[in-house]
Chains A and B, each alone.
Chain A
Amino acid sequence: MQRQLFRSFIAACLLPLPAMAVDTDGPETKPIEQPSHDHRGAKQIALENGEGATITLWKPDLTTQTLILEHGGITIPKTGIDNYHVVVAEKDWGNQKEAVIRYEYMFGRPSKQSPSKLTTVEKTDFEIVPDPIPREHYRYHSMQTWGFLVRLHGKPIPNLELILQTTNGSQQTAISDRNGRVEFQIPDDFPNIVAGERDKRSAQLTISSRYRKGDIAYQTQLNADYRVNPTHWQSSQLGLWVVGVGMLAGGYLGRTRKIKEKRT
């Protein structure tokens, strides 16, 4: 099993949100060390304060499975299906509903399902949805701009404040547009980056929001990992130079062949 360090579900307790703090009774997570290297196997997420939460695993084909909190952690079982899965933890306090969502890529046989099925379906009353979710060969990286939708019962909510926080200490706010969409540029906040050297560190980002409708107050969070942007050790300028050298070489080869042919 690949080493996974999933820091949080409801990360509010790890990341204090001054403007919109979630109840201290809410779930909280810590990483679990997983020594196995089978990246196709089960994944574990540590969850603290998750007592009483309903935890649901959504598979790519939209079938669901209830997960159980055990010893402060959740195990996403090996489903054997490739592609994104979603873990949703919900707490219903009557007049207050909390939800935390995490999209997790699992490996297995091709699911032949589009992840858009998972992002489109209503998984909890109030949710923040990646728009789009990173596709093959892409991940959330610092300095990149990514979009998110905020929805209540599947309908977009305009003019709502969303807060992005990272475990590296950054915070941003954005207001959803009329389609309920916001864009965040993920902060480049990893400390001690050495230019030219690959940096495999990852950190956690949390996008959260709250909304009140009638007597019910909703709170939601979307958690994901993000990594150091590869531009710290990849140079487009140098790449362009090398392409230029290649073009010169191609031009030279073409020209010498032409001269040879003229001679013969």
Chain B
Amino acid sequence: MTTWINLSLLRKLVQLSAFIFFVYGGLITGYYLEDKISGALPALSCAYDFQGSDLCTLIPIQHQMDHRLGEVIAKGGNLMMGIMPTLITLGTFLLFFVVLNKAFCGWVCPVGTFQEVMQLIGQKLGLQRHESLSKKLVIRLRPVKWFMLLVLVFGLPLLTGIGMLNHDMGDPFCRICPSRILTTLATGETSQLTVDTANTTTLVLSVLGDFLFGLMIALALTVRQPFCRICPMLALHAVFRKLGLLRLIKSATPRCDRCGLCAKACPMDIHEIHTDMQHPNVTFEDCTLCGRCVEFCPDKDVLQLKYTFIPIFSSSPQYFKQRKKSQTQWERKNLISWFKQARSKTEAKAQ
């Protein structure tokens, strides 16, 4: 392995390609591509993106809660008819999800990619912190994604369908989702970056959505993957993660408990990667299968990305050495270090 070729670089290339495909794919392969792929993608690809090539699964789920299940409950129809569309959507979601598992978050999602780009910018500006979020804060944040999934994706749209809430609460997650603003802005469309004064609900949701988008941009400069931590898609992935063919596998050694490099490398700050000694499958609920923990594990075959039973990437001391070296070199190059170098050169010349 040469210094600069590594799994992270490969992942960034895949992320970039996925971003182009899902945000601009309609331009390249035909305007109505999204109607042909899944309509239930396990990543935040937005339907408001006129040029996009697929729809995130959370969109149909919200609509089905509102217009199908909610209506059936309200009118007293056949409950199975109300649930069936959601089951079909989840079935389609699973067909894709099983192939890559939670790697849809770490390798495909346009919002995840954007946050990593912001992180890169932050790091190059000298803003990026090296430390992870505190364990306490990480644990406190974890339930938020479940709240987002259960309340915003299932609960409120269902109550809207039943008739207990006004129609504008039919797709509350979409209205605050950063992907809606991000992907439309990426295509030059500003219609989603608005404050909607139609009524109190639209006003609150649009302000919340815009605020969250701004917050995500600024936080992503200094914190790794801030939105991913509360994303309902991560929670939906967590429900089905045992079914995915791609997994993060750990063969714990006594050294694991002390080293902790894997947890430090994890962009989602999953400390359990190094503390868990019981379970071989360490694809935790917050894991995005980015593979950084495997890259930064110094012990041979302790951490592995396995596709079914086939190891596709394993930790090794040689890889770790090279990877750490390249990471150090990469992090050393930023605006602050450039200024320092320039200043010391000027001072040296002056002397």
A230 near B129 (CB under 8 angstroms)? no
Q: Is A263 an interface residue (CB 8 A)?
A: no
B36 near A246 (CB under 8 angstroms)? no
Least Cβ–Cβ distance between B193 and chain A, in angstroms: 4
Least Cβ–Cβ distance between A118 and chain B, in angstroms: 10
Least Cβ–Cβ distance between A40 and chain B, in angstroms: 8
Q: How far is the CA of A111 from the CA of B198 in the complex (A)?
A: 33
Report B-chain residues with C-beta under 8 Å of the C-beta of A114: 30, 32-33, 35-36
Task: Closest A residue to B122 by CB, please name it.
Answer: A254
Q: How far is the CA of A108 from the CA of B175 in the complex (A)?
A: 24
Least Cβ–Cβ distance between B77 and chain A, in angstroms: 11
A248 near B218 (CB under 8 angstroms)? yes
* Among A135, A230, A251, A254, contact of B196 (Cβ-Cβ < 8 Å): A230
Task: Report the interface size for chain B: residues with CB under 8 A from the other chain.
Answer: 45
Chain A contact residues, majority secondary structure = helix
B67 near A250 (CB under 8 angstroms)? no
Q: Is B50 an interface residue (CB 8 A)?
A: yes
Least Cβ–Cβ distance between A79 and chain B, in angstroms: 16
A250 near B30 (CB under 8 angstroms)? no
Q: Is A233 an interface residue (CB 8 A)?
A: yes
What 0/1 readout, one digit per residue, does chain A (235-253) give for beta carbons within 8 Å of chain B?
1101110111111111101
A-B contact count (CB 8 A): 127
Q: How far is the CA of A247 from the CA of B223 in the complex (A)?
A: 13
Least Cβ–Cβ distance between B261 and chain A, in angstroms: 20
* Among A111, A116, A231, A258, contact of B222 (Cβ-Cβ < 8 Å): A258
What 0/1 readout, one digit per residue, does chain B (227-270) give for beta carbons within 8 Å of chain A?
00000000000000000000000000000000000000000000
Q: Is B346 an interface residue (CB 8 A)?
A: no
Q: Is B214 an interface residue (CB 8 A)?
A: yes
Task: Report the interface size for chain A: residues with CB under 8 A from the other chain.
Answer: 42
* Among A132, A137, A235, contact of B197 (Cβ-Cβ < 8 Å): A235
Report A-chain residues with C-beta under 8 Å of the C-beta of B50: 135, 138
What 0/1 readout, one digit per residue, does chain A (105-122) give for beta carbons within 8 Å of chain B?
000011111111000000
Report A-chain residues with C-beta under 8 Å of the C-beta of B221: 250-251, 254
Report A-chain residues with C-beta under 8 Å of the C-beta of B226: 250
Contacts of A140-166 to chain B: CB distance below 8 A: none
B213 near A198 (CB under 8 angstroms)? no
Task: Closest A residue to B212 by CB, please name it.
Answer: A246
Q: How far is the CA of A205 from the CA of B226 in the complex (A)?
A: 46
Contacts of B101-145 to chain A: CB distance below 8 A: 127, 129, 131
Contacts of A208-238 to chain B: CB distance below 8 A: 230-231, 233-236, 238
A243 near B197 (CB under 8 angstroms)? no
Q: How far is the CA of A98 from the CA of B202 in the complex (A)?
A: 44
Report B-chain residues with C-beta under 8 Å of the C-beta of A246: 210-218
Report A-chain residues with C-beta under 8 Å of the C-beta of B193: 236, 239-240, 243
Q: Is A23 an interface residue (CB 8 A)?
A: no
Report B-chain residues with C-beta under 8 Å of the C-beta of A231: 191, 194
B36 near A135 (CB under 8 angstroms)? no
Report A-chain residues with C-beta under 8 Å of the C-beta of B88: 109
Task: Closest A residue to B214 by CB, please name it.
Answer: A246
* Among B39, B47, B67, B190, contact of A236 (Cβ-Cβ < 8 Å): B190
Q: Is B31 an interface residue (CB 8 A)?
A: yes
Task: Closest B residue to A255 by CB, please name it.
Answer: B222
* Among B55, B195, B215, contact of A234 (Cβ-Cβ < 8 Å): B195
Q: Is A197 an interface residue (CB 8 A)?
A: yes
Q: Taking A247-B218, A250-B221 as given, write out 9 further A-B residue pairs in contact, using a Cβ cutoff of 8 Å, ordered by the A residue number.
A: A114-B33, A135-B31, A234-B197, A243-B214, A246-B211, A246-B217, A247-B215, A249-B214, A261-B131
Chain A residues close to B by CB (< 8 Å): 39, 83, 109-116, 132, 135-138, 196-198, 230-231, 233-236, 238-240, 242-251, 253-254, 257-258, 261
Q: List 10 A-B contacts (CB under 8 A).
A: A39-B67, A112-B36, A114-B36, A137-B48, A198-B198, A234-B196, A243-B214, A246-B216, A250-B218, A254-B218
